[in-house]
């Protein structure tokens, strides 16, 4: 079972992103679940969402405390929240950032793969709005290979239309995947 935690801000589609990952997994004949953290604060406050993937039905409905992968949809969140918390050995980190280098980050030793993408820029260029979820899904797919891009794109197109599929494609292309040894 893979566990994923997504960090975003309200309005970036953080929760939806998690659901799309699960959709892709399920369409491949696998399983998954996803849900937001149920907090109090709204608008403007950091949003967290959880995903579990597996090839058997997923039983726990708890929060994810030890993720195999963390996805950050908005660079600013990293100032407010410890996004690295609990990352498992050999885990994957997917960051929306203007940086192309991992030196700028305090990446914990348990992380094995880092994906960097300037998702905000891509979103602005493709969609005209800084909604980064569809872009960063591509980075996630590229970095982990846990789900099939075809299904991700299917769902993105169903939910948000073709422009977002473009954002996905561009995101996939421009994501830099770095393996840490």
Partner 1 sequence: MSRVDVLNGNQAAAIGASLARPGVIAAYPITPQTPIVEYLTQFKVDGKIDSAMSEVESELSAMSVLTGASLAGSRTFTATSSQGLALMYEPYFRASTLRLPIVMAIVNREMISPQTLWGGPQDSLTIRDAGWIQIYVEDNQEILDMMIQAYKIAEDKNVLLPINICYDGFYLSHMSERVEIPAQELVDKFLPEYEPEHIKLDPKKPMAVDPLTSGYLLMEYRYRHLAAQQEALKVIEEVDKEYADLIGRSHGGLVEEYRCEDADCVVVTMGSMSGAAKEAVDIKREEGYKIGLLRLRVVRPFPSKRISEVLKGKNCFGVVDRNVSFGWNTGILYQEVNSAMYRHGGDVPSVPFIGGLGGEDVKIEHFLHAIEKIYEGAADGVDCEQTIWLTNER
Partner 2 sequence: MKAIDLVSKTEELISPGISACVGCNVELSLRVVMRVLGPNTILAVPPGCMGGVGVVGWDMKSGAKVPVFFPLLDNPASMLAGIKLHYDRLGEDVNVVAFAGDGATVDAGFQCLSGAAERGDKIIYICYDNEGYMNTGYQRSGSTTKGAWTSTTPVNKEGIGGKMQNKKDFPMIMAMHDIPYMATANPAYVQDMVNKIEKAKQVDNGLAYIHIFNPCITGWGVKSEESIEVARLAVQSNFAPLYEVENGNFKLNMNPRNPKPVKEYLQKIKKFSHLTDEDIEELQADTDKKWNRLVNLASL
Partner 3 sequence: MKFKSKYIVPVGADGIYEIDTGKWRTERPVMDKDKCIECGICAMYCPVFSIIKEDEKYIITYDYCKGCGICVHECPKDAIDMIPEEGK
Closest Cα to residue 71, out of 163, 164, 136, 155? 136
Closest separation between CB of residue 31 and partner 2, Å? 29
CB neighbourhood size of 165 (10 A)? 18
Let me know: does 72 contact 135? Beta carbons within 8 Å: no
**C-alpha distances out from residue 83 to 23, 91, 94, Å:** 24, 13, 11
Which CB sits closer to partner 2, 41 or 56? Answer: 41
Does residue 38 interact with partner 2 by CB under 8 A?
A: no
Does residue 41 interact with partner 3 by CB under 8 A?
A: yes
Site for partner 1 in 31-60 (CB under 8 A): 31-36, 38, 40, 57-60
| Phi, psi dihedral angles at 26 (to 5 degrees) | -65, -40
Which CB sits closer to partner 3, 1 or 45? Answer: 45
Binding site for partner 1 (CB under 8 A): 18-19, 22-23, 26-27, 31-36, 38, 40, 57-63, 65
């Amino acid at each position: 079972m893979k566990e994923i935690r997504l960090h975003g801000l309200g309005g970036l589609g953080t929760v939806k992103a998690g659901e799309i990952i699960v959709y892709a997994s399920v369409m491949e004949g696998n399983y998954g679940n996803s849900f937001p953290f149920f907090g109090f604060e709204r608008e403007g406050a950091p949003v967290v969402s959880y995903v579990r993937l597996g090839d058997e039905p997923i039983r726990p409905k708890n929060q994810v405390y030890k993720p195999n992968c963390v996805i950050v949809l908005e660079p600013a969140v990293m100032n407010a929240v410890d996004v690295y918390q609990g990352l498992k050995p050999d885990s994957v980190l997917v960051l929306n950032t203007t940086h192309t280098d991992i030196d700028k980050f305090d990446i914990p030793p348990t992380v094995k793969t880092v994906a960097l993408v300037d998702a905000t820029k891509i979103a602005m260029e493709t969609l005209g709005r800084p909604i980064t979820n569809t872009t960063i899904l591509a980075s996630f797919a590229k970095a982990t290979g846990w789900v099939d891009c075809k299904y991700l794109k299917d769902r993105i197109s169903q939910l948000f239309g073709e422009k977002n599929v473009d954002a996905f494609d561009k995101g996939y292309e421009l994501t830099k995947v770095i393996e840490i040894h």
